[in-house]
Amino acid sequence: MEQFRYSISSVIEPGIIDLDQAMQDTFSRSIRYLRLSLTSACQMRCTYCRPDWLRHCDQSGQLTADEIESVVRHLVARHGIHKVRLTGGDPTARPDLIPIIRRVAAIDGVRDLAMTTNGLTLARLALDYRMAGVRRVNVSLDSLDGDTFARMTGVNGLERVLAGIDAAIAAGLAPIRLNCVVLAGDNDRQLPDLVRFAAARKLEIRFIELMPMGPLAEQWSKRYVPAAVMRERLNPHVADWQPIDQGHESAQRFDLRLTDGRRVTVGFITPMSCNFCAACNRLRLTADGHSYPCLMDQPRGSFLPAVRPHFDAAHFDRLLSAALGAKASEHPAQGVAVMTTIGG
Ligand code: SAM
């Protein structure tokens, strides 16, 4: 494609990608999707996600709204990124979120601007996010039981999140997906309730296998529930499972007909039992400008020197080609990073 035809041949070294070949990594995966973490701050304290030390994390070095706009504009105009997801931490913990959304949404070529959130601010701000330019949201919902929710997330926030989901529906932030990390001993017996909740609101729900990273990494084998077991738990409530083509989706998705006759789309995100690395089309940037080739890998350099004090496109592309060259064929067995700084 024409927009990729520029030369950076002087920087091509082993393990470094020639961006003349469009945004492809060493394994010929086309990179079209930017996951941008806006902050590592979050209002929740999920047991599987947030280590205690992050409470006192300094946010002062994070990319400014100007810098974010320059980075996204460049990635869209020069490298064919067309899908952007704002994540965190929680993106809504960032005070300048609305202006950031406006700036990113206004970039010519951003066709799909989505956001992943814990849902705590949606009851108040869903319409503002929509008006600023977010098209759709993924909302974390680990339980419909107030106690389980509070135990897993560290906040007494179930009612607020449920009101937020309804506000997101009313604001037209569609399609809305619910994300639920499944933990043995916490919510693993509650999946049918969650599926019925999603069916009643015509939302998609995705159950996520626990990854061995973050605060539960050491207990992973005790808390991990494979997707096959999740499906067994749902089976008595399901009359028919129709697989949906996965494409670049990270989830194995099914159109379910429940025994009560309702239909619902259910996905299983299976990083552990059946990884989806071959279809990975993502570039991940953190709030402080680091690039991560993968959720479970270590950071591969910072883009800050190419962004601050002024955006330098040639420098940025050299760092980008190195970052893509570091993208392994599959995720490592154990996560070295914390999901909440990278943005899941
Ligand atoms: N705060 C937002 C939210 O609640 O969705 C966005 C960031 S959060 C890090 C993104 C996703 O990562 C959430 O769905 C969360 O449940 C998931 N997550 C965090 N730690 C995880 C782990 N160890 N294993 C699997 N999923 C995890």
CA of 344 to the centre of ligand 1 (A): 5
> Which residues, in sequence order, are bridge partners of residue 116?
138
What residues line ligand 1, using a CB cutoff of 6 Å?
42, 48-49, 87-88, 90, 116-118, 140, 179, 181, 208, 210-211, 213-214, 339-340, 343-344
pLDDT score of 178: 98
- Could you tell which of 36, 44, 129, 140 is best to mutate to test the pocket of ligand 1, judged by most ligand atoms within 8 Å of the CB? 140
Non-local CB neighbours of 95 within 8 Å, separated by 6+ positions: none
pLDDT score of 322: 84
Structural domains of the chain ordered from first start:
33-342 (3.20.20.70)
Pairwise CA distance, residues 125 & 226, whole Å = 35
pTM of the model: 0.89
The torsion angle over the Cα atoms of residues 34, 40, 43 and 45, rounded to 10 degrees, is 110
Residue 120 DSSP one-character state: T
pLDDT score of 283: 85
pLDDT score of 323: 83
CA angle 320/138/175 to nearest 5° reads 110
CA angle 14/304/69 to nearest 5° reads 110
Q: Which residue has the tokens 């060259």?
A: 325
CA of 16 to the centre of ligand 1 (A): 30
344 residues of the chain, pLDDT tens digit each = 333 322 333 334 445 555 544 577 777 777 788 999 999 899 999 999 988 777 766 777 899 999 999 999 999 999 889 999 999 999 999 999 999 999 999 999 999 999 999 999 999 999 999 999 999 999 999 999 999 999 999 999 999 999 999 999 999 999 999 999 999 999 999 999 999 999 999 999 999 999 988 899 899 999 999 999 999 999 999 999 999 986 667 789 999 999 999 999 999 998 887 766 777 777 889 899 988 766 666 666 789 999 999 999 999 999 988 888 767 666 666 655 665 665 55
pLDDT score of 15: 52
Pairwise CA distance, residues 19 & 12, whole Å = 9
